[in-house]
A and B are shown apart, each in its own frame.
Chain A
C-alpha cells in the first residue's frame, strides 16, 4: 500500500459518497442558495474524478463554513477568513491533493480580503468558491462587504454609506487566472463552472451568488439571470484581460440595477501555477513534500553536514 493511495485512484465515483451519514440534511434555511453550491460540488467532483479522500475542502466561518459538515471529504473548517492560507499551504505540502477553499463574502472579501488578494496573486492551483449573498447570515443580517450602497441593517440603521466591493474585478487585478460568477438559481451553469475551475491549472475564483431568503429578503433572488456566454447581447474574449475587465465592470454595476449577469469572465490558460513557478526557481521539490516523511530510503540531511562547517 502506498502512502496516499486515495490519490490518483481510478474508479467510478458515486455522488452519494460525498454525503455524510452523521448530518446528511444541511441546517441551512429553506430556500437558501447554499444548497446549490453543495449540490453543484457533488455533481462536479465525480466528473473531474476526484474521490472524497483525495480532496481537501477548507472553509472559513459563516453559513458557508458549514459546507464542510455536509460534504464528506477530508475537511478543514478553519477560522473566520483564513481558509485560503491553510488551503494553499496544504497544496504546497502535497500538490497531488485536490484543494478547494470556500467561504462567504464576509469571510473572503472582508476579514480574509488580504489573503484573497495574495492567494490570487500567487496563482495557487486551487479553486476558491465564495458564497456571495451580500449579507452576513449566520450573525443574523448585518451589512457585508458586497451589500449595496444604502443597504439598511441593524448595524447600518441609516443605510450603508459604502460602495460595495467588486469581487470579480478585484480577483482579476490581484492576479487570479480563472474568474467566474455563477448563481444558485442556475445549477447547470454552476456545475459546469465548478468543473472548469477544478480542472484549471491555477487560482480559480468562483463568485457564487447565493440568495439569503432569511436575512436579505429585500434582495433579488438572482433571477432572471443572464449567462454572458450564451446571451447574444454580450461578446467579449475571456482570455483578454482588458475585455474581461470591462465585462466585469458592467456585470458588477448591473447587479445593483437588478440585472444578474453570470458566466466565465477571465480564463488565462498556460500561465504557470505558483507551484510550477516555485519549482522553476528551485524552491519546491519535484515530489510532494508530504511523501518524503514516509520514504524509508530517504536520507535526511543533517545541519552538521550541510551548514555547521561554515561556522568553524
Chain B
C-alpha cells in the first residue's frame, strides 16, 4: 500500500450512470499518463441497490484492485426504495455513503452529495470521521447540476469536485467529455464540471489531505480495455465471423461486443431461443466452413453440454466462452467466482475431449482467445475459454501495440478440392473423414459443397467414412486417436508459455492460482518479498490438457504451496492433485467465495497465517483456510 496511488470509488444506485462516469474518469487518468485498473461491484437488481466502481491509478503498473481505497465520491441513489422501517433492503438512500465506510483507508477523502445524503442517519459517523482522520466534503452536487443542466449531471459535478481535491487538471476529463457526449448535453456538462471544480477550489483547502493524483508517463499509446473486449478482439483477429448466443450475465458483454461489431465485418451474429441452440448453431456454422463461437455463463453453459459433446464426437472445431459467476443455480448473477471449473472440464457424457484455457489478465484474454481458435481449428476440437465476471468486467490500460498483430483466419487441417482428390475414399466416393492413423490424431476434414468431400458427421461412434460403427477395434482406434490430439495439444501448449510467474526463482514457498486471481496474487507476492518472505507464484492457464509438468516442477521447487482460488470446495487444488498424483501434503488452500474477489492484502495475510504461522487464522478476513492433507 503506498501513498502514490489513488483509489477512487464512485458509489450510487444501479442505473445512475456509475459505470459510464467511472469509465470516462479511468480513461482520463490513463490519458494523463497513469496505469489504471477498475473493479466493479453491483447488485443483481434492475434499478437501485448499492453499486460502486473503483479505479486504482498509479504511475507503477497496477494488476489488481487494492486493499481498500482512499477517495469516495458518494452520489445519491435515485432509485433507492422508501427507507421505512422493515423495508427489505433497509434504508437504501444512505447506502452510497454508509456501505462504503468500512473499506475507506485512514486519512481518506469523502465527497458526498448533501442534496441527497444525510450522514446523521449513519450511527457514529462523526466519531468515525475523527478516528480515521477522514476529510469530508459535503457538496450540493444535485443542486449544482439542476441549476445548470439536469439532475442526472450530478456525476459530472462529482468528477469536477474530485479533480479539484486531488489536484488533477480538467484537461483530460474535458477532452473525454467532448469525445463521448453529444453536443446537446456537452455544454451544460462542461459548465457543471468547471463550476464544481472552481467552487471546491475556492471554498476548501484542497491540500488538506494526502490524497492526490499521482503523475506518470506512458512511453507508448495506451488503450483502456476489459477482458470482454479482449476476448472479442482475439476472436475477430482469428477470423471468427459467426457467433450465436443467448443473453446471460456476465457473458452478455462478449456477446454484445461481437453482435455490434460482426456486421461491420460482414459477419453473422445470431441471438437464438436458448443456449442449446446457440452452441448447436456454432457447431453447424463451423461444420459448414466458418470460424464460429458461442458462449454463456454457468447455467446457460449447462445447456451447452449436449452440443459440446457433439462437437467432441464429430470433431467439429468450435470455441465456447464461459463467464463464471457465483453458483449453484442462479447463484449471485453479478458476483465473480471460479467454481464452474469442474463444470466445464467434465460436463457432457463420455471422456472429455476438449481444451479448457483460463486466461489471467486482459492481455492474456486476447492472446488466449486467439489461442483457443487456433487450437480448436488446428486440432478439430471444442475449446473453452474460461473466465469470470471479474476479468470480463475489469478495465485496464494496455499498450495499444499489444493488438497490432496480423489476423489468422486459417481453417486448420481443412482440405481444398484439389487436396481432397488425393485422400482416401470408399468405392462409392465417400471421403474418409475420420482416418485411424494420422499425425497428431488430426484427420483432415472437408466442407459441405466440396466435390469429393462427402461424408457423414455423427454423434454416434463411427468408422473412417463417418458411418455408424460399434466394432470394438474401430471404437478403440477412434477414441485413442481423438485422445491422442490432447497429447499433441499439450506439446503445442508447452511452446506457448501461458503460465505466469512472480517472485524469485529460488523462493522457499509457492502460491498457485489460476485465471482472474493472477494479478492480485502477483501483487501479494511482491509485497511478501518486500517484507522479507521468500515466495513465488505460478498462475496456470491450461486447465485441460493440464500443465502437469510445469506445475510439478514448481511444486517440487518449494517447501509449501498455498493454492488461491475463488471456490468453496478447492476445485483448482483438486485438479492439481488429480494431475500430479502426489504432493497432497504440500498443498493447502486459501479460498474466497463471498462474492468479492481477493484483495492483495487478504492473500498476504492468508499466506502468512497459513504458511508462516501455520494455523491459517487470518482474522478479519472473509477467506477460508483448508490445510494440506495429513496436516
B215-260 residues with Cβ-Cβ distance < 8 A to A are: 221-225, 229, 232-234, 236-237, 239, 241-242, 244
In chain B between 376 and 420, which residues have their CB closer than 8 angstroms to a CB of chain A?
A: 400, 403-407, 409-411, 416-418
Find B285's partner among A4, A92, A118 (CB 8 Å cutoff).
Answer: A92
Contact B403 A89 (CB under 8 A): no
Closest 5 CB pairs of A and B: A89-B284, A4-B449, A303-B233, A86-B284, A85-B280
> Given the complex, which residues of A lie within 8 Å of B454, measured CB to CB?
52-53, 72-74
Determine whether B25 belongs to the interface, using a CB cutoff of 8 Å to chain A. Answer: no
Q: Which of B39-47, B141-149, B192-200, B287-295 contacts A (4 or more CB under 8 A)?
A: B287-295
Among listed A93-101, A176-184, A227-235, interface-contacting one: A93-101
A118 to B460, CA, bound (A): 26
B447 interfacial contact with A, CB 8 Å = yes
CB pair A85 B272 closer than 8 Å: yes
A66-96 contacts to B, CB under 8 A, are 68-69, 72-79, 82, 85-90, 92-94, 96
Q: Are B283 and A5 in contact (CB under 8 A)?
A: no
Q: Which of A18-26, A188-196, A250-258, A259-267 contacts B (4 or more CB under 8 A)?
A: A18-26
Bound-state CA distance A20–B455 (Å) is 11
- Among the listed A22, A76, A82, A309, which residue makes an inter-chain contact with B306, where contact means beta carbons less than 8 Å apart? A82
Chain A interface extent, by class:
35 or more
CA–CA, A205 and B448, complex, Å: 23
Shortest CB-to-CB span from A162 to chain B, Å, is 23
19 interchain pairs, CB-CB under 8 A: A3-B417, A5-B417, A9-B451, A53-B450, A72-B430, A78-B459, A79-B306, A79-B307, A79-B309, A79-B459, A82-B277, A89-B283, A92-B242, A92-B285, A94-B288, A114-B277, A285-B268, A289-B267, A311-B229
- Complex CA–CA separation, A97 to B454 (angstroms): 13
Which residues of chain B from 300 to 324 have any CB-CB distance to chain A below 8 Å in the complex? 306-307, 309-310, 314
Whether B261 lies near A87 (C-beta < 8 A) is: no
20 extra interchain contacts, Cβ-Cβ under 8 A, other than A85-B276, A115-B276, A290-B290? A3-B416, A4-B449, A53-B449, A61-B459, A76-B458, A77-B459, A77-B460, A78-B459, A82-B277, A86-B280, A89-B283, A90-B448, A92-B268, A93-B289, A94-B289, A114-B274, A118-B273, A285-B266, A294-B416, A312-B31
Q: Which of B416-443 contact A (CB under 8 A)?
A: 416-418, 426-428, 430
CB closest residue in chain B, given A94: B288
Whether A74 and B455, one on each chain, are in contact in the complex, defined by CB atoms closer than 8 angstroms, is yes
Stretch from B465-473, B496-504, B568-576, B583-591 that touches the partner: B465-473
A278 to B233, CA, bound (A): 23
Contact of A312 (CB < 8 Å), options: B222, B239, B242, B447: B222
Q: Which residues of B contact A115 (CB under 8 A)?
A: 273, 276-277
In the bound assembly, the distance between CA atoms of A272 and B329 in angstroms comes to 40
Question: In the complex, what distance in Å separates the CA atom of A308 from the CA atom of B453?
Answer: 39
Is A41 an interface position by the 8 A CB rule? no
Question: Hey, which chain B residues are within 8 Å of A307, CB to CB?
Answer: 233, 236, 261
Beta-carbon contact of B237 and A282 below 8 Å: no
Most buried by B among A20, A21, A309: A20
- Does B270 sit at the interface, judged by CB under 8 A? yes
| B51 → A minimal CB distance (Å) | 23
User: A117–B410 Cα gap in the complex (Å)?
Assistant: 35
Contacting pair B307 A3 (CB below 8 A): no
- Cα–Cα, bound, A78→B404 (Å): 39
A54 to chain B: which residues have CB within 8 Å?
A: 449
Q: Interface of A with B (CB < 8 Å)?
A: 1-7, 9, 20-23, 52-54, 56, 58, 61, 68-69, 72-79, 82, 85-90, 92-94, 96-97, 114-115, 117-118, 278, 282-285, 289-290, 292-294, 300-304, 306-309, 311-312
Chain A's nearest CB lies how many Å from the CB of B36? 12
- Whether the pair A308, B284 counts as a contact (CB closer than 8 A) is no
B614 at the interface (CB under 8 A from A): no
Q: Which residues of A contact B278 (CB under 8 A)?
A: 85
The verdict on B269 contacting chain A, using a C-beta distance below 8 Å, is: yes
B418 touches A1 (CB 8 A): yes
Q: Which A residues touch B410, using CB under 8 A?
A: 293
Q: Does any Cβ of A come within 8 Å of B184's Cβ?
A: no
Q: In the docked arrangement, what's the CA distance between A150 and B418, Å?
A: 58
Indicate which residue in B261, B277, B465 contacts A306 across the interface (CB closer than 8 Å).
Answer: B261
In chain B, what residue has the closest Cβ to A51? B451
Give complex CA distance A78, B459 in Å: 6
| Contacts known (A74-B454, A88-B284, A282-B263); A290 close to B405, Cβ less than 8 A | no
Q: Taking the nearest CB of chain A, how far is it from the CB of B81, in angstroms?
A: 36
Checking B31, B221, B232, B289 against A293 with a beta-carbon cut-off of 8 angstroms, the contacting residue is: B289
Closest residue of chain B to A96 (Cβ to Cβ) is B449
A293-B290 in contact (CB<8A): yes
**A308-B400 contact in complex given A3-B416, A56-B448, A86-B281, C-beta closer than 8 Å:** yes
Q: List the A side residues contacting B427 at CB < 8 Å.
A: 21
- Interface status of B282 (Cβ within 8 A of chain A): yes
Question: Does B457 have its Cβ within 8 Å of any Cβ on chain A?
Answer: yes
> How many Å from the CB of B425 to the closest CB on chain A?
11
* Chain A residues within 8 Å of B265, by CB: 301, 306
B263 partner residues in chain A, CB cutoff 8 A: 282-283
Nearest CB in chain B: distance from A108 CB, A: 14
Q: Which one, A87, A118, A282, A294, contacts B272 given CB within 8 A?
A: A118
- Please state if B310 and A304 are interface contacts (CB–CB under 8 Å): no
Given known A4-B450, A89-B284, contact A75–B466 (CB-CB < 8 A): yes
Specify which chain A residues have a CB less than 8 angstroms from the CB of B277 in the assembled complex.
82, 85, 114-115, 118
Chain A residues whose CB sits within 8 angstroms of the CB of B449 once the complex forms: 3-4, 6-7, 53-54, 74, 94, 96-97, 290
State the CA gap A114–B274 with chains docked (Å).
9
Q: Does B626 contact A (CB under 8 A)?
A: no
Smallest CB-CB separation from A22: which chain B residue?
A: B467
Asked if residues B285 and A312 are in contact (CB atoms below 8 Å), the reply is no
Which of B269, B458, B467 contacts A283 (CB under 8 A)?
B269
A77 to B467, CA, bound (A): 10
- From A78, A117, A304, give the contact of B405 (CB < 8 A): A304
Cα of A93 to Cα of B269 in the assembled complex, Å: 11
Decide: A300 near B289, CB < 8 A? Known: A20-B430, A76-B457, A77-B456: no
Determine the chain B residues whose CB is within 8 A of the CB of A302 once the complex forms. 236-237, 403, 405-407
Query: CB within 8 A of B280: which of A2, A82, A282?
Result: A82
Which of chain A's residues have a CB closer than 8 A to the CB of B288? 56, 89-90, 93-94, 97, 290
Q: Is there contact, CB below 8 Å, between B404 and A304?
A: yes
Chain B proximity of A71: nearest CB distance (Å) = 10
Most buried by A among B270, B274, B426, B449: B449
The answer to whether A21 and B426 touch across the interface, beta carbons within 8 angstroms, is yes
A4 and B242 alpha carbons, distance in the complex (Å): 20
- Which of A79, A96, A285 has the most chain B CB atoms inside 10 A of its CB? A79
Within the complex, the shortest CB–CB distance from A154 to chain B, in Å, comes to 25
B152-208: which residues lie under 8 A (CB-CB) from chain A? none
Q: A69-B467, A85-B284, A88-B284 are in contact. Are A312 and B290 (CB under 8 A)?
A: no
Picked from B266, B270, B416, the residue with its CB within 8 Å of the CB of A89 is: B270
Interface centre among A68, A75, A86 (most CB of B within 10 A): A86
CA distance A306 to B407 in the complex (A): 12
